[in-house]
Amino acid sequence: MIDRSRIYEILDGYEMDDVRIGMIASHSALDVADGAVEEGFRTLAVCQEGRERTYVKYFRAERAPDGRIITGMIDEVVVLKRFKDILDQQDMLLRKNVLFVPNRSFTSYCGIDSVEDEFEVPLVGSRNLLRSEERGDKMDYYWLLEKAGLPYPEQIEPDEIDCLVIVKLPHAVKTLERGFFTAASAEEYYEKSELLLRQGVIDSDGLELARIERYIIGPVFNLDFFYSPLRDRIELLGIDWRFETSLDGHVRLPAPQQLRLNEKQINPEYTVCGHNSATLRESLLEKAFDLAEKYVAATKEYYPPGIIGPFCLQTCVDKDLNFYIYDVAPRIGGGTNIHMAVGHPYGNALWRTNMSTGRRLAKEVRLAIESDSLRKIVT
């Protein structure tokens, strides 16, 4: 892990009146860039060849001669053969005084070891906590949730399946996507496993490392929180939920049609393709904040300095209104684009203006620069 003191040395060489907000051009990049522009920063997006047009052409920033933004939010693009080549572009990023916002694409394409040990550009967020998202690591988010005393679906062994479960493992072909499937008995688990193995949706290595957990029957709420080290305050900015293929196509079909699906169609896939916004009934908000309070406290104890900035607790709520955390994003969540420009419902109410996750992150950077406290929010 790059020592935080090394990041401080690099930060001391930055020109604070010319700081740029940078990110991998994927995942939540538009939200981050939009929020940065709202707070008066210029932006830099690192693109991969063949995936750059969204940022190079369609959301490119246009500014007036005085620097005032007219349209768009991407000021500068760096197009690379592969996202991972950003590791060879660090000198350029440092010369441009870039503060880098990590997202899931950053850690997935560059590799968590490289992010921890090689990437010396200051990160706005918790560098060491990013590894907790690697399911199966010794101190992954399940380990952290247990230490924090937070609720999550219990793990079940294949031969002990006696209720509906979800099997979590990577897709064999779409390597950054999910090969999830459900089963309600040991027999169904083995039948579906064999079918998906034959179809090439999953592979034996992934199945061996899969996590099987009780399926929580209830709606999904991704709680988009923000922890400010400057204010020592937790903020619920908003809530999103996912559209997943081909699961959402399945649930739109009447039961008779579902029963007539062929072998290749019968098992839905859980690839996230979009998001929507949601709110909670007010009597549940205190429970949501309790989850965040415990998570933040646990990160400070086991992953010092703890969470910095945005994080997402991905939850289900059962019939008795109990929350279960089924996933954790220790960085900006993947669904925050739903709130860019217009803001999150709760964030807007708290800040009395349009406050998306991207803008809240940029506001923290702005406040840190103005108070000479940038060291508190970078790692």
- Residue-number span of the structural domain to which 199 is assigned: 158-214
- Are 243 and 366 in the same domain? no
- Are 145 and 282 in the same domain? yes
Peptide bond between residue 5 and the one before it cis (omega within 30 degrees of 0) = no
First-last CA distance in the chain: 10
Q: Alpha-carbon distance 379 to 362, whole Å?
A: 16
- Are 146 and 268 in the same domain? yes
Q: Let me know if residue 12 belongs to a domain.
A: yes
Cα-based distances in Å from 307 to 37, 248, 297, 303, 316: 24, 33, 9, 8, 22
Q: Let me know if residue 135 belongs to a domain.
A: no
pLDDT of residue 137: 87
The DSSP 8-state label assigned to residue 252 in this structure reads T
Which amino acid, residue 206? Answer: G
- Are 260 and 146 in the same domain? yes
Find the DSSP H helices in the chain. 4-12, 29-38, 53, 90-95, 104-110, 112-117, 141-148, 186-199, 204-208, 247-251, 255-259, 282-302, 345-351, 357-370
Q: What is the CATH number for 240?
A: 3.30.470.20
Q: Let me know if residue 341 belongs to a domain.
A: no
If pLDDT is split at 50, 70 and 90, which confidence band does 263 have?
confident
329-351 average pLDDT score: 95
Cα-based distances in Å from 71 to 53, 60, 64: 16, 8, 10
If pLDDT is split at 50, 70 and 90, which confidence band does 174 have?
confident
pLDDT tens for 243-261 read: 988 889 888 999 999 989 9
Mean predicted lDDT score pLDDT of the chain: 95
pLDDT of residue 135: 82
pLDDT of residue 264: 86
- Are 40 and 13 in the same domain? yes
Which amino acid, residue 101? Answer: V
- Are 61 and 103 in the same domain? yes
Tell me the pTM.
0.95
3-class SS of residue 53: helix
Domain tally, the chain: 3
Which of 116, 52, 111, 122 lies closest to 80 in space, CA to CA? 52
Is 90 exceeded by the pLDDT of residue 234?
yes
Q: What is the CATH number for 81?
A: 3.40.50.20
- Are 31 and 120 in the same domain? yes
- Are 25 and 74 in the same domain? yes
- Are 57 and 12 in the same domain? yes
